[in-house]
Structure 1
């Protein structure tokens, strides 16, 4: 199982973590990516498979204290964040001038 943190645009978002099977994770995050935006995930197709995967995912919340890492972040309603994640890889998050948001 891989852990996905979900971040949405709601004021009361609590940034829950959910356990995904390898298949569910691969459906949301293409190989080498660990950042996803739900509209882009939906645009890839596989609508029924995605519906089933997300339905299962929501039933597997992982309390943060029990999480053994976060393998991917799924954004809802936060399209403005796409500017920082052009490569959909967290380690490559960058400002608009191309400077990395992290040093290492």
Structure 2
């Protein structure tokens, strides 16, 4: 069997599908921030860390949770709902203290 490929940020084991949903949720968050005439810099930094499979700190995880909840409560396609809930469950099961 070949080694498992890691998707998503370090410390948040995501399937490829979950990683795509996470990406979509953060992009949706960036769009909402820009539409509210605010700077997307922080969200873009989180998106870059997710794409690079870098670890997320506590504030990053909070943004990711908020972005996922808003995405799932909004216009997320039905196919994204179960993977999105799985990521939220993964984040909830991890210790809240991080670097």
- TM-score, normalization: structure 1? 0.28
Higher helix share: 2
Select the structure of larger CA radius of gyration: 1
- TM-score, normalization: structure 2? 0.28
Higher strand share: 1
